Structure 1
């Protein structure tokens, strides 16, 4: 297994790199049942990556069901359980990005998704391929849910993935730590785990 360190093993980041910022939204940052307590703590690091290359950033947004019990298969049960997190209960405004990040759009883009993965039933892969993108920097939340789905989908599609370890958050410290270990140890040929400082320093 590869050693874990704060270095980009496969070289600097260039014009073929884009930043996927995962689900940094009001419904996770504010006082809801899905509040991620330390999202605000990592926000400055996320902002640092976004402000470095705002025109190369895509913000994903998790879009809840409109009403309880909607969805196919287990998603129907999911939205029955989380009826408090539906659009009908939250209001449309809660799916918006955290205000500190919303100000970067444009030039940053937004991609809406209705599942954990931004690759499922979206045009993300086509968007990136159209721009000759082959490398993705990933920030946001949650480390063990939507970030995990983002990373694995990118790996399946052959992207080089660079995870900003200090710009991720989760509502579970244990799952966050385990996920970082998983990214660094199990996917070391396709995934690099480094700090924001390393990413900014090497993305020219």
Structure 2
């Protein structure tokens, strides 16, 4: 059982950006990388996107083009997951799931070849340009790409809120362990919340 939410009372407004991590077709259905919880948490993610569509940023994980490509251990990774390289995936599998496509555009999509969206992208510059001081993180997987997203945001000193009922993972145990870790070990940097808490707390006004 994951820890109770730890959302602070500080206001959330136009300074906040919702980063939705890797909600793509290749993580759904019969895919070897399928996330069984995706359909369960997707309505919560859609609700957050719909509430503040101008404050959403999507990320997409883009696999190597063919088996054996990549730097260092990524080469071995794509030998193991040869069927998940671009030349083997069906058309559209790297796209956002259909429920989220209406939000992008206007929401930007940040493509990344690794777990972290902060490496080799303009994500940090985009957030700085809009005066962002808080990020709200949803998507998958809790213990992989979400983890990399959250720790990068914390490194930049951004208020970082993980929406625990809007995350998905292939492992219940790893998901719960990460939520507990965010709540305790990283408690000064990272907050946890439910979708309902965010919808009630997040306004469309600037926050001083």
Scaled by the length of structure 1, the TM-score of the pair is: 0.96
The equivalent residue for 1:203 is 202
The equivalent residue for 2:155 is 156
How many residues are aligned here? 201
The equivalent residue for 1:118 is 117
Q: Give the Cα separation in 2 of the matches to 1:48 and 1:158.
A: 27
- Secondary structure of the equivalent of 1:45? helix
Q: Give the Cα separation in 2 of the matches to 1:53 and 1:143.
A: 22
2:43 corresponds to 1:44: yes
**Is the 1:162–1:194 Cα contact (8 Å) retained in structure 2?**
yes
The equivalent residue for 1:138 is 137
The equivalent residue for 2:59 is 60
**Is the 2:25–2:97 Cα contact (8 Å) retained in structure 1?**
yes
Q: Give the Cα separation in 2 of the matches to 1:12 and 1:197.
A: 15
Q: CA deviation at 1:6?
A: 3.6
Q: CA deviation at 1:91?
A: 3.3
**What pairs with 1:30-41 in structure 2 (closer than 5 Å)?**
30-41=29-40
Q: Give the Cα separation in 1 of the matches to 2:83 and 2:176.
A: 28
Q: CA deviation at 1:156?
A: 0.7
Q: Give the Cα separation in 2 of the matches to 1:32 and 1:108.
A: 26
Task: Select between 103-112 and 12-21 the one with higher mean Cα deviation.
Answer: 103-112
- Secondary structure of the equivalent of 1:168? strand
- Secondary structure of the equivalent of 1:116? coil
CA-atom RMSD in angstroms: 1.1
- Secondary structure of the equivalent of 2:149? helix
**Is the 1:6–1:198 Cα contact (8 Å) retained in structure 2?**
no
Q: CA deviation at 1:29?
A: 1.2
The equivalent residue for 2:14 is 15
- Secondary structure of the equivalent of 2:184? helix
Q: CA deviation at 1:145?
A: 0.3
Show structure 1 runs of 5+ residues with no match: none
Instruction: Please list the CA deviations of residues 46-105 of structure 1 after superposition, one character each: whole Å capped at 9, or x if unmatched.
Output: 111111111110010000010000001000000111000001000341000000001111
**Is the 1:7–1:198 Cα contact (8 Å) retained in structure 2?**
no
Q: Give the Cα separation in 2 of the matches to 1:119 and 1:73.
A: 19
Scaled by the length of structure 2, the TM-score of the pair is: 0.94
Q: Which has the higher helix share?
A: 1
The equivalent residue for 1:91 is 90
Q: CA deviation at 1:38?
A: 1.1
Show structure 2 runs of 5+ residues with no match: 204-208
Q: CA deviation at 1:30?
A: 2.5
